[in-house]
Amino acid sequence: MIFHHRSGPSRGAARCSAARARLGAVHARCPKAAAGVLRRPWLLSALALAVAVATAAVMAAFAGPSAVWRVAQRVQPEWILVIVAGRALCYLGYSRAYRVAMRLRGGPRLSQRQSLSLVAAGFGAHVLGGGFAEDRRWLQGMGDSPDDAKTRVLGLGALEYAGLAPAAWICALLVLGARHVQPELTLPWAVGVPVGAAIAGWLAFRSHRTAAGARVRRAVRHGIGALHLLREATFPRSEHFPAWLGIGTYWAGELVSAWAALRLFGIHLGLPELVLAFATGYAATPRGLPLAGVGVTEALMPLAFTWVGMGLAPAVVAVFAYRMLTLLIALPPALIANPRVKRLVVAYAPGGPRERALPLAGAV
């Protein structure tokens, strides 16, 4: 399935009517795809910000309001510009990786502008099911089968962790045994990453069958198919290199943003500790959790920073600033991208979902 970039939406009434008719066809064939791009974002964005504030307030109560206030008074606003620069790296890097990952094994060939719009919409806090859920809807709206769409999105998620886990593993080894870092944090990374990589590598080169129920079989098939996509991305081909460069740039942007949020309040933290705490507290990227992960990240990340020797009050303040700024920065691009994604689904909706000649999911 090949998609070619088209020009902007027609201004003629007849073409607008045709576009609405095609959208109706998409809704009739795949209601979730149409619903995903038609959902109004403002209410969900406000809800996400409210959840983030409420969670941070609970964490601040545990840390001590007076201690939190003392840290907040040390704010140095010039570091906000560094956070903005870090977010720009995130968008540029992830959109590049997204574009390459989506076209593996005959996937849609998106333009840079299309991939950037899809990524920006998925980063927004208005996505109730998370950016990955929206990716599945968009892919189905563009003609992917449900199984292929889920496998392709899981492959993107595998690429994310394949880009971060090695860095966290190296950092865990660097601070292993350090008195200020808890061993409960370093040991799982030091042991789990190589073991997990070995298991994933073994699965990526095999097709497995299981006697489990249909739901389990589907989950196993999707997971193995995602590892097959990741395996293909690791082949030394020039067209695959931008995926790794892009996902590396994305994580660099995230770490720069988190580091700048610490410096925003005069907090110093070593690079190994920063990477390890960030990888532990960041349960998933904003695209992998509902409403960009609000509530989860605000609770987990401050605790992860305390495990590398930081006080709870500074951790709560820095994480709150990091999350609120990144959520607010992501809101305008998401709102701008949402109608563009709707037009993309309308423009490229085929007659119906179809299976690919080269199956993405492993035999189960």
pLDDT of residue 214: 57
Residue 358, in any domain of the structure: no
Whether residue 6 is contained in a domain is answered as: no
For the ranges 111-115, 159-163, 175-179, 285-289, which has the lowest average pLDDT?
285-289
Q: Which of 1-5, 48-52, 242-246 has the lowest mean pLDDT?
A: 1-5
Residue 223 belongs to a domain? yes
Lowest mean pLDDT among 23-37, 115-129, 187-201: 23-37
What does the pLDDT average to over 77-81? 96
Average pLDDT in the chain: 78
In a domain, 360, yes or no: no
Token digits for 224? 């193995």
355 is a domain residue: no
Question: What are the backbone angles phi and psi of residue 68, rounded to the nearest 5°?
Answer: -65, -40
Q: Is 205 helix (H, G, I), strand (E, B) or coil?
A: coil
pLDDT band at 15 (very low <50, low <70, confident <90, very high): very low
Q: State the average pLDDT over residues 273-277.
A: 95
Q: Tell me what the mean pLDDT of segment 2-28 comes to.
A: 42
Total structural domains within the chain:
1
Query: What is the rounded CA–CA span in Å between residue 349 and residue 34?
Result: 11
Neighbours of 9 (CB within 10 A): 15
Ordered alpha helix ranges (H), 30-179? 31-38, 41-63, 65-72, 80-102, 112-123, 131-141, 146-174
pLDDT of residue 358: 36
Q: What is the pTM of this model?
A: 0.79
DSSP state of 352: S
Which pLDDT belongs to residue 253? 96
Residue 356 binned pLDDT confidence (cut-offs 50, 70, 90): very low
Count Cβ neighbours within 10 Å for each residue of 223-262 and write b for 16 or more, e otherwise.
bbbbbbbbbebeeeeeebebbbebbebbbbbbbbbbbbbb
* Any domain includes 124: yes
What pLDDT does 318 receive?
96
Name, in order, each residue with C-beta under 8 angstroms of 131's C-beta and a sequence gap of 6 or more. Answer: 119, 121, 122, 123, 285, 286, 287, 288, 292
Q: Print the domain residue range for 218.
A: 27-348
- Of the candidates 248, 246, 251, 257, the one whose C-alpha atom is nearest the C-alpha of residue 86 is 257
111 domain residue, yes or no: yes
Does residue 85 lie in a domain region?
Answer: yes
Give the pLDDT band of residue 24 (cuts 50, 70, 90): very low
